[in-house]
C-alpha cells in the first residue's frame, strides 16, 4: 500500500452544498493569497438559467388525463401521448403525427420532451455508447448504453457528481452538486432508448451511474415506476438493479416498495478499517449495519443481494481479503460481482493482475459463495464502472 494513497481531498468529502439558485446572471471569485493580500477578481460570466417547461413524462397517467380534460380533449389522447413517448420514440411533439396538429401545438406550449443538450456522444470499440448531457442549469451528467449478445443494458445517473467520497471512483471527483429530478433521470433512459435501431428494445437498467441512488430515492422511485408501468417501458422490476454504497434505512425503504428490484451493495472491503479507507461514509455506518439491512432486503423481497467488490491491485485483492469476504458471506444468500479496477487518470490505483483475480475467485468459490467477474464495457471512452464523471467540468477547472 503506497503512503498517502487514502488522503482524500476536502472537496470530495465535504457535506453536499445547497441547491443552486433558480436563476443567476454571473458570479465573482476573489482570490486572497496566504499573506492576506488580495489578487485580481476573476469574472465568470454565467448565462441566466432559462425557464424550462416541465417534461411531459413527469406527469402521471392520471395527471395527463386531467390535463387532456382541461383542454377539452378525450381521455384516450393521454394513452396516445404515452405511446409516442415510450414506444414510437419520437424526439419532438411535432413528430407525433398520429395526434391532431392543434394538440401537438398545445403540448409544445405546456411541456418539453427532451430538453437537455447532448454535449458529447461517444461510441467505444465494443459498441458501448456514452452520452454527456447538459441540463438546463448547465450541470453535466453521463449515461451509458451497453450491448452484450441479446441484452441491451443502460446505466443511468441519479445525481450531478457524488458525495460518498469512494476514493477509487471518478464520479465523486468534483463532489456532489445536486440531486437529479425524476424527469432528468427518465430523460437519460429515453435518450439512450432512442439510440437503438427499430426492432431492438432495452432489456435491463442498472442505476449505477453518477451519484448514490438511495440518497435520491424520492426522485428515483417515480422514475422506476414509469419504467415498469405497462404504459411506460413495461420493464420487469427484476430487470432493474439499484446500486448503493449501503444506506441501511434507504435499503429497507426500497424493500418496502413491494417491487422486485435487484439490490447491489458496493462493499469493496471485507472489514471495517479497510472499507472506511476506501468508502469514507462507512465510518458512520459500519459493515454490520449494511449487511443487516441487506439481509432484511432479502427477507422482505426474496431477492438475492449482490455485493460489488472493486479489486484494487495490492490493496484489497489479497488472498486474506478473499478469505475474510468468504467468511462474511458464506452463510448468506448472496452473490459477489468482482470488478477489476478500471483506470482513472486522476486516481493512484492500479488494476489487479489476472492471476490475482483468478485466485480471489477460487477462494470465494471454496466458501460456496457464487462469484462473477464483471465484463469491462466502454473503457476506451471512460464509460466503464467507476469512470463516469463530468470530464468537461474537470477540464475547465483552474488551479490557482
Question: pLDDT (tens digit, 9 = 90+) per residue, 232-253?
Answer: 999 999 999 999 999 999 999 9
- Domain edge (last residue) among 110, 127, 154: 110
Q: Grid cell 488494476 — which residue?
A: 351
**Same domain assignment for residues 92 and 194:** no
Give the distance, in angstroms, between the CA of residue 314 and the centroid of all CA atoms in the same chain.
28
The continuous run of DSSP H or E covering 244 comes out as strand 240-244
Q: Out of 68, 155, 169, 385, pick the active-site residue.
A: 385
**Same domain assignment for residues 191 and 289:** yes
Q: Out of 58, 129, 142, 308, pick the active-site residue.
A: 142
**Same domain assignment for residues 235 and 370:** yes
**Same domain assignment for residues 300 and 180:** yes
Please tell me the predicted confidence (pLDDT) of residue 79.
Answer: 97
Helices (H), 215-311: 217-228, 248-255, 272-278, 287-301
Please tell me the predicted confidence (pLDDT) of residue 236.
Answer: 97
The continuous run of DSSP H or E covering 340 comes out as strand 334-340
Please tell me the predicted confidence (pLDDT) of residue 384.
Answer: 45
- Domain edge (last residue) among 94, 110, 126: 110
The number of C-alpha atoms within 13 Å of 311 and in the hemisphere containing its C-beta is 27
**Same domain assignment for residues 64 and 200:** no
Indicate whether 40 belongs to any domain: no
Active site (annotated) includes residue 155: no
Number of domains in the chain: 2
Indicate whether 14 belongs to any domain: no
Indicate whether 41 belongs to any domain: no
Active site (annotated) includes residue 385: yes
Q: How far apart are CA 382 and CA 210, in angstroms?
A: 13
> Torsion angle, CA of 225/228/230/234, rounded to 10 degrees?
150
**Same domain assignment for residues 121 and 244:** yes
Cα–Cα separations (whole angstroms), residue 386 to 5, 118, 131, 270, 276: 17, 21, 16, 19, 18
Cβ–Cβ contacts within 10 Å for residue 156, how many? 28
Q: For the chain, give the number of residues.
A: 400
Q: What CATH number is attached to the domain comprising 106?
A: 1.10.150.530
Residue 18, classified by CB atoms within 10 Å of its CB into exposed (0-12), middle (13-18) or buried (19+), is exposed
**Same domain assignment for residues 124 and 105:** no
Indicate whether 273 belongs to any domain: yes
Terminal C-alpha separation, the chain: 30
Q: Which of 390, 357, 335, 343 is nearest to 171 (CA)?
A: 390
Indicate whether 253 belongs to any domain: yes
- Domain edge (last residue) among 88, 110, 132: 110
Q: What is the pTM of this model?
A: 0.83
Q: What's the domain range around 101?
A: 56-110
Q: Which of 144, 141, 125, 225 is nearest to 176 (CA)?
A: 141
Cβ–Cβ contacts within 10 Å for residue 25, how many? 9
Indicate whether 7 belongs to any domain: no
**Same domain assignment for residues 86 and 231:** no
Indicate whether 349 belongs to any domain: yes
**Same domain assignment for residues 106 and 139:** no
**Same domain assignment for residues 188 and 325:** yes
**Same domain assignment for residues 277 and 235:** yes
Q: What CATH number is attached to the domain comprising 354?
A: 3.20.20.70
Q: How far apart are CA 123 and CA 139, in angstroms?
A: 22
Query: One digit per residue, pLDDT tens: the chain, 400 residues?
Result: 444 455 443 444 333 433 333 322 233 333 333 344 444 444 434 455 667 899 999 999 999 999 999 999 999 999 999 999 999 999 999 999 999 999 999 999 999 999 999 999 999 999 999 999 999 999 999 999 999 999 999 999 999 999 998 988 877 777 899 999 999 999 999 999 999 999 999 999 999 999 999 999 999 999 999 999 999 999 999 999 999 999 999 999 999 999 999 999 999 999 999 999 999 999 999 999 999 999 999 999 999 999 999 999 999 999 999 999 999 999 999 999 999 987 566 677 888 999 999 999 999 999 999 999 987 655 565 544 444 444 444 444 322 2
Amino acid at each position: 500500500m503506497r503512503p498517502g494513497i487514502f488522503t482524500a481531498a476536502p472537496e470530495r468529502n465535504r457535506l453536499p452544498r445547497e441547491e443552486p439558485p433558480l436563476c443567476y446572471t454571473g458570479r465573482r471569485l476573489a482570490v486572497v493569497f496566504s499573506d492576506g493580500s488580495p489578487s485580481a477578481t476573476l469574472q465568470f460570466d454565467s448565462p441566466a438559467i432559462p425557464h424550462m417547461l416541465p417534461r411531459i413524462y413527469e406527469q402521471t397517467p392520471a395527471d395527463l388525463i386531467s390535463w387532456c380534460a382541461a383542454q377539452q380533449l378525450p381521455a384516450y389522447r393521454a394513452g396516445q401521448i404515452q405511446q409516442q413517448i415510450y414506444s414510437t420514440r419520437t424526439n419532438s411533439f411535432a413528430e407525433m403525427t398520429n395526434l391532431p396538429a392543434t394538440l401537438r401545438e398545445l403540448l409544445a406550449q405546456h411541456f418539453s420532451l427532451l430538453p437537455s443538450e447532448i454535449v458529447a456522444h461517444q461510441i467505444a470499440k465494443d459498441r458501448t455508447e456514452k452520452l454527456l448531457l447538459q441540463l438546463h442549469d448547465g450541470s453535466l451528467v453521463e449515461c451509458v448504453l451497453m450491448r452484450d449478445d441479446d441484452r441491451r443494458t443502460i446505466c443511468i445517473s441519479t445525481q450531478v457528481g457524488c458525495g460518498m467520497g469512494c476514493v477509487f471512483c471518478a464520479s465523486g471527483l468534483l463532489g456532489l452538486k445536486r440531486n437529479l429530478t425524476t424527469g432528468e433521470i427518465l430523460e437519460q433512459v429515453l435518450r439512450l432508448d432512442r439510440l437503438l435501431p427499430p426492432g431492438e428494445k432495452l432489456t435491463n437498467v442498472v442505476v449505477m451511474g453518477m451519484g448514490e441512488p438511495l440518497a435520491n430515492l424520492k426522485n428515483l422511485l417515480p422514475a422506476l415506476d414509469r419504467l415498469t408501468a405497462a404504459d411506460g417501458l413495461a420493464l420487469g422490476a427484476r430487470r432493474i438493479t439499484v446500486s448503493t454504497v449501503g444506506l441501511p434505512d434507504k435499503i429497507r425503504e426500497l424493500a418496502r416498495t413491494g417491487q422486485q428490484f435487484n439490490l447491489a451493495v458496493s462493499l469493496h472491503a471485507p472489514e471495517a478499517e479497510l472499507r472506511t479507507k476506501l468508502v469514507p461514509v462507512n465510518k458512520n455506518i459500519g459493515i454490520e449495519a449494511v449487511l443487516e439491512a441487506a439481509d432484511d432486503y432479502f427477507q422482505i423481497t426474496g431477492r438475492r443481494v449482490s455485493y460489488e467488490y472493486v479489486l484494487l491491485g495490492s490493496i484489497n485483492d489479497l488472498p486474506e481479503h478473499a478469505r475474510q469476504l468468504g467468511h462474511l458471506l458464506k452463510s448468506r444468500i448472496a452473490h459477489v460481482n468482482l470488478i477489476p479496477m478500471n483506470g482513472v487518470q486522476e486516481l493512484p490505483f492500479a488494476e489487479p493482475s489476472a492471476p490475482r483475480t483468478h485466485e480471489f475467485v477460487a477462494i470465494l468459490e471454496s466458501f460456496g459463495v457464487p462469484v462473477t467477474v464483471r465484463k469491462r464495457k466502454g473503457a476506451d471512452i471512460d464509460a466503464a464502472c467507476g469512470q463516469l464523471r463530468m470530464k468537461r467540468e474537470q477540464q475547465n477547472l483552474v488551479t490557482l
